[in-house]
Every structure is written in structure tokens, then in C-alpha cells.
């Protein structure tokens, strides 16, 4: 028992201070471990919804067909998702576990946690058809609970430092259009707002969420915009005759993303430092949507897994068409990028110019924060 305790403490020192006792001498390892927290929707959910009674889930084959275990984990990908690839880039020992995973305990808490839940949006009424999902207010409440648990493990001062040194990823917004405003013709929100008024409303609610995250101690937050919503196979299947992207959703994304970037830069001025980093995922996606061949894809219109036109109808299940070579497809299922597309996105997050990452990219963050 007491041996176990000592082991735990060594782990804690390693994680927090980058210092570990080996043969009684102090050794400083090269890699600084920092915690990583993830909030948002299916693009970044690593399996929270497996523990919930909801239809928004990815815990059955062929999801995970290219994951190291070859099993469906709840990630909406054939293999790794964006949080996995960011974890690898920052040198973390493992991807943060889903917050609802019972294995997230003890020293493993110090790696971080993933609070994301497929189907959620900025607004509470987004994704209501998925019933039981972790909406953003609850994701933030879980983050507060998490900090209490870490505090009990390593003390309040160190817990606070772990959170303020951590990297945070926030991916939200697409569902406020796809699974709310445009979900059905004459949706409640579309009767309430014209699209050019709905977007500023969503942005103003998003701003409150980010300020809450800041109040909870987050100090390095990558906020992704939406992809080109009208160009995903699901929307092509519904609206496209010749492969052209769906106009209304493109207009929505075109309004949302610049206003998000603007809001983030205004928030940074308000808090007096570069806490929020805008990731221009719309442009990152456009690159391979406009020229899939240049990135080694055979198509950016047809999903690897699905059915109907563009494989864009319904869900990806064991009965769907499944492409033999997942790496040749930009989209894995009707809504979500393939692992290889995720790699391209994370690579741009890492080294992209200010057109992609504003005010700085992840390699700059890592270099700055390690000083
Ligand atoms: C969303 O729900 C939370 C609590 O569940 C509430 O505090 C918040 O005000 C709601 N947001 C909006 C925009 O209604
Ligand atoms: C992004 O990363 C690259 C290489 O790591 C660096 O040279 C470049 O200046 C960075 N760009 C910005 C805008 O931070």
C-alpha cells in the first residue's frame, strides 16, 4: 500500500515538474508533459457518448477499423481523431480519456480529460433529438469536478498550475446549424432568426462559454471554426446535383467563421493576453476539398462509409458501403473526416501560418510555454 503511494507520487512529480527521481538522483527528462483538455462535439468526442443513452455514438464497427486496437472506441473516425493527433504532437503519454470512462482515475487524471460529446452545440437546444448528451454547461461542470479530484490528488496549488499550463481544444458550432437551424424546414430557430441574425446570437452565446472556461482556469485554448458545412457528403446527398456544395450551409459557415475569429481576438484584448487561438478549420478543409488529388485523396465528396449518393445518407454502420482504402478518402463518414484528413488538419494547427492559426500556431505555443 505505502509502496503504491510512493509510486504515485513519483508519477505526479514527473508530470507536474518534469522531474523524476531515478536511483536517488534528480533527472530532468527532455519532454515536458502538459495536460490536455478537450471540449465540444463529435469531431473531438473520444467516447463519452458510449456511456450515455443516445443515438449519437460511434462504438460499433466499422468505426475504429484503423485504430491501433482495430476496435470502435466512440471516436467518429476510422482511426485517430483530432485530439489523439494533438496529444501525439505535444508529446503526451496518451490521449486524455473520456471523462465518463471509469479508467480515468488516479495519476491518469494528470494527463487531462476529454469532456466532448457528439451532438452538442453552443446552444442548449442544439441536438435535442440526441436526448441524452453532455451539453456544454455540463461539460464545464465536469471540468470543475475534475479539478476538485485533481486537487485532492496533488493539492490545490499544483492542480491550479496543471490547469493553467494545460492545452485546451474547443470544437463547437457546426451542430448549431446542421442539428438545429437547418435540421428541419421551418425549425424553431429559423422562424425566430434570419441566418444573418442567428450567427451573431450563437457567437454571443459562445463568447459566454469561453469566458466561463477562462474563469475555470484555462489559459491556452485552441478554438476551431466549423468546416465548410455545405460540402460534407451528408449535405451533398441532400442538396447537390453536380457535386457543388450546399449554398445555405456554406453561407452560414461563411458568416460564422470570420465572426468567431473576430470574437476570439476581442476576448484576447479583454483578458489582456493571447489565451484564445483561432484555428481556421474551414480553410484547412477547403484545401483538400478544392484539390483532393494534391493531398493524395481520390475524392473529397464521397464518404468512405455510408450509403446512397456520395455515401452521404444515414449513418455509417456494418451494413454500409465501406471503401477498401480509407486513406484515399477525405471523409470517413457522411460528416467526419478520415484519420488522414485529421492528420492534415493537425499538421496545419502545428505549423500553419497566421492564415490558419491566429495569433500563433501550436509549435509556437509549445516553444513559448516551455521557456
Ligand atoms: C443552458 O443551460 C444552462 C443550464 O443547464 C443555463 O445555465 C444556461 O443559461 C442555458 N443557456 C441558454 C442560452 O439558455
Ligand atoms: C508556425 O510554425 C512555423 C514552423 O514551426 C514557424 O516558422 C512559423 O513562423 C509559425 N507561424 C506563425 C504565424 O506563428
**Residue 184's CATH number:** 3.40.50.1110
333 is catalytic: yes
* 360, 300: one domain: yes
Q: Which domain holds residue 190?
A: 32-369
Alpha-carbon span 158 to 19, nearest angstrom: 14
Residue 20 or residue 300, greater confidence: 300
Cα four-point dihedral sign 199, 232, 37, 50: positive
* 19, 140: one domain: no
* pLDDT of residue 262 exceeding 80: yes
* 165, 285: one domain: yes
Could you tell me where the DSSP H helices lie in the chain? 2-17, 82-89, 136-154, 156-165, 174-176, 188-192, 195-215, 233-239, 247-271, 281-290, 339-351, 362-369
At 16 the pLDDT is 41
* 260, 364: one domain: yes
At 1 the pLDDT is 33
Q: Are 285 and 301 in contact (CB under 8 A)?
A: no
Which ligand lies nearest the alpha carbon of 207? 1
At 109 the pLDDT is 96
Residue 62: asked if its preceding bond is cis (omega within 30°), the reply is yes
At 49 the pLDDT is 96
Residue 70 CB partners (closer than 8 Å, separation 6+): 64
User: Structure pTM?
Assistant: 0.91
* 119, 170: one domain: yes
Residue 23: asked if its preceding bond is cis (omega within 30°), the reply is no
Residue 338: CA atoms inside 13 Å, Cβ hemisphere, count?
31
Could you tell me which of 86, 36, 58, 68 has the C-alpha nearest to residue 345? 86
At 26 the pLDDT is 39
* pLDDT of residue 27 exceeding 50: no
* pLDDT of residue 15 exceeding 50: no
- Kindly compute the dihedral angle of the four CA atoms of residues 101, 103, 107, 109, in this order, to the nearest 10 degrees: 0
* pLDDT of residue 9 exceeding 80: no
Count of beta carbons in the 10 Å neighbourhood of residue 301? 23
336 is catalytic: yes
* pLDDT of residue 97 exceeding 90: yes
* pLDDT of residue 308 exceeding 50: yes
CA–centroid distance, 210 to ligand 1, in Å, is: 14
Which ligand lies nearest the alpha carbon of 366? 2
Label residues 251-261 b or e (16+ Cβ within 10 Å = b). bbbbbbbebbb
Q: Which of 361, 366, 367, 370 to mutate to test the pocket of ligand 2 (most atoms within 8 A of CB)?
A: 361
Alpha-carbon span 308 to 305, nearest angstrom: 10
Number of structural domains the chain divides into: 2
* 10, 100: one domain: no
* pLDDT of residue 186 exceeding 70: yes
Alpha-carbon span 240 to 264, nearest angstrom: 33
Q: Are 354 and 362 in contact (CB under 8 A)?
A: no
CA–centroid distance, 226 to ligand 1, in Å, is: 22
Alpha-carbon span 8 to 107, nearest angstrom: 7
Alpha-carbon span 56 to 244, nearest angstrom: 27
Could you tell me which of 253, 320, 239 has the C-alpha nearest to residue 286? 253
* 57, 11: one domain: no
Q: Name the catalytic one among 41, 42, 77, 95.
A: 42
CA–centroid distance, 253 to ligand 2, in Å, is: 26
**Residue 175 pLDDT grade (very low, low, confident, very high; cuts 50, 70, 90):** very high
The label of the residue with cell 485529421 reads 342
For 214, the grid coordinates are: 477562462
* DSSP classification of residue 34: -
* 200, 323: one domain: yes
* pLDDT of residue 2 exceeding 60: no
Q: Is 367 in the pocket of ligand 2 (CB under 6 A)?
A: no
Q: Are 277 and 221 in contact (CB under 8 A)?
A: yes
* 334, 257: one domain: yes
Q: Which of 120, 124, 142 to mutate to test the pocket of ligand 1 (most atoms within 8 A of CB)?
A: 124
Q: Which of 121, 126, 137, 193 to mutate to test the pocket of ligand 1 (most atoms within 8 A of CB)?
A: 137
* 69, 18: one domain: no
Distance of alpha carbon 32 from the chain centroid: 22
| Average pLDDT value for residue range 115-144 | 96
* pLDDT of residue 21 exceeding 60: no
* 294, 185: one domain: yes
Which residue, by CA, sits nearest to atom 4 of ligand 2? 351
In percent, the amount of the chain with pLDDT more than 90 equals: 90
Count of beta carbons in the 10 Å neighbourhood of residue 47? 23
At 371 the pLDDT is 59
* 309, 347: one domain: yes
Lowest mean pLDDT among 7-21, 45-59, 288-302: 7-21
Alpha-carbon span 125 to 121, nearest angstrom: 8
Q: Is 124 in the pocket of ligand 1 (CB under 6 A)?
A: yes
| Average pLDDT value for residue range 297-303 | 97
Amino acid at each position: 500500500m505505502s509502496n503504491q503511494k510512493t509510486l504515485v507520487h513519483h508519477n505526479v512529480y514527473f508530470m507536474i515538474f518534469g522531474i523524476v527521481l531515478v536511483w536517488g538522483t534528480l533527472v530532468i527528462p527532455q519532454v515536458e508533459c502538459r495536460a490536455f483538455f478537450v471540449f465540444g462535439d463529435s469531431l473531438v468526442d473520444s467516447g463519452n457518448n458510449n456511456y450515455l443513452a443516445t443515438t449519437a455514438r460511434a462504438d460499433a464497427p466499422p468505426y475504429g477499423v484503423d485504430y491501433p486496437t482495430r476496435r470502435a472506441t466512440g471516436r467518429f473516425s476510422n482511426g485517430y481523431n483530432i485530439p489523439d493527433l494533438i496529444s501525439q504532437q505535444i508529446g503526451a503519454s496518451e490521449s486524455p480519456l473520456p471523462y465518463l470512462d471509469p479508467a480515468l482515475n488516479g495519476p491518469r487524471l494528470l494527463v487531462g480529460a476529454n469532456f466532448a460529446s457528439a451532438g452538442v452545440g453552443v446552444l442548449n437546444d442544439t441536438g435535442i433529438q440526441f436526448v441524452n448528451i453532455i451539453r456544454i454547461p455540463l461539460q464545464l461542470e465536469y471540468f470543475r469536478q475534475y479539478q476538485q479530484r485533481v486537487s485532492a490528488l496533488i493539492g490545490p496549488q499544483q492542480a491550479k498550475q496543471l490547469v493553467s499550463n494545460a492545452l485546451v481544444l474547443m470544437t463547437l458550432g457546426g451542430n448549431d446549424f446542421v442539428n438545429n437551424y437547418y435540421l428541419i424546414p421551418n425549425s424553431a430557430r429559423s422562424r425566430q432568426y434570419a441566418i444573418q441574425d442567428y450567427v451573431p446570437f450563437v457567437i454571443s452565446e459562445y463568447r459566454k462559454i469561453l469566458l466561463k472556461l477562462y474563469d475555470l482556469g484555462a489559459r491556452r485554448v485552441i478554438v476551431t471554426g466549423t468546416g465548410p458545412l455545405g460540402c460534407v457528403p451528408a449535405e451533398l446527398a441532400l442538396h447537390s446535383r453536380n457535386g457543388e456544395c450546399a449554398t445555405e450551409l456554406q453561407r452560414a459557415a461563411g458568416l460564422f467563421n470570420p465572426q468567431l475569429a473576430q470574437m476570439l481576438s476581442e476576448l484576447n484584448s479583454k483578458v489582456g493576453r493571447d489565451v484564445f487561438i483561432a484555428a481556421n478549420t474551414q480553410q484547412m478543409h477547403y484545401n483538400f476539398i478544392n484539390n483532393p488529388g494534391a493531398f493524395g485523396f481520390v475524392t473529397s465528396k464521397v464518404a468512405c462509409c455510408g450509403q446512397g449518393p456520395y455515401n452521404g445518407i444515414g449513418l455509417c454502420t456494418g451494413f454500409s458501403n465501406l471503401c477498401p482504402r480509407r486513406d484515399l478518402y477525405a471523409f470517413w463518414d457522411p460528416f467526419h473526416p478520415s484519420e488522414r484528413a485529421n492528420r492534415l488538419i493537425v499538421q496545419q494547427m502545428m505549423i500553419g501560418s497566421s492564415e490558419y492559426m491566429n495569433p500563433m500556431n501550436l509549435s509556437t505555443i509549445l516553444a513559448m510555454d516551455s521557456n
